[in-house]
Amino acid sequence: MKEVWIAFGLTLAAGVATGIGSVIAFTAKRTNYRFLSIATGFSAGVMICVSFVEIFLKGVDALTARYGDYWGHWVNASAFFGGMLLIGLIDNMVPAAKNPHETHSEAETAPLHDPGASIPVFFAAATEAGKEPAPGMHDHDLRHRSLMRTR
C-alpha cells in the first residue's frame, strides 16, 4: 500500500508542477527568451537523459544475455558512444545553411521578435559560390552571442 501512496504523491507533484508552469506562462506580460531557452534546454536534457538511461539498461540486459557479462557491457558502451560519435560526424558534414540544428544570427531571427522586420533570404549565402555572405547571414561569431549552442 505504501508504494501506491508514493506513486500517487509523485503523480500529484508532476501535475502541480505542470500547473505552476502554465500559470507562469499565462500570467507573464512579455516573453523572456533567455528563461524560455534555459527551461526548454533543461527539460529536453531531462527527457533525453531518461531515454538514454532506459535504452542503455535494456541494451545491457540484451547484450549480456547474448555476449556474456564482460563483453556485453563493452559492446553496449561501444555502441552507445559510437552512435554519439557517428551522429556528431554527420552533423558536422551537413552545410551550416541547411543544418536545422545550427544557431542562426540575430538578423535571421529578427522576424520572430519583431513582426515588422524583413524576412532574410536564408540560403542566399550558401547558394552563391564565391561571393561574400550578406551581413548577418549565418554570422556565427561566438563572441557576440549571449546564448551559445554547446557542441
Position 38 in a domain: no
Q: Do residues 89 and 101 share a domain?
A: no
Per DSSP, 23 falls in state H
The one-letter code for the residue type at 36 is: L
Position 116 in a domain: yes
Q: Which three cell numbers stand for residue 84?
A: 554519439
Residue 46 CA: distances (Å) to CA of 13, 28, 40, 97, 105: 16, 24, 10, 29, 27
Flag the least confident range among 9-23, 43-57, 82-96, 136-150: 136-150
CA 47 to chain centre: 10
Q: Phi/psi at 99 (nearest 5 deg)?
A: -85, 115
| Long-range pairs of 117-126 with CB within 8 A, sequence gap ≥ 24 | 122/97, 123/97, 123/98, 125/97, 126/95, 126/96, 126/97, 126/98
Q: What is the pLDDT of residues 24-58, one digit of tens each?
A: 878 877 777 788 888 889 989 999 999 888 999 99
Is the pLDDT reported for residue 135 higher than 60? no
Whether the model pTM is above 0.85: no
Task: Give the domain extent around 65.
Answer: 46-93
Predicted confidence band at 131 (pLDDT cuts at 50, 70, 90)?
low
Q: What is the pLDDT of residues 59-111, one digit of tens each?
A: 999 999 999 999 999 999 999 999 999 988 988 887 766 666 667 677 777 77
Position 18 in a domain: no
Q: Do residues 51 and 71 share a domain?
A: yes
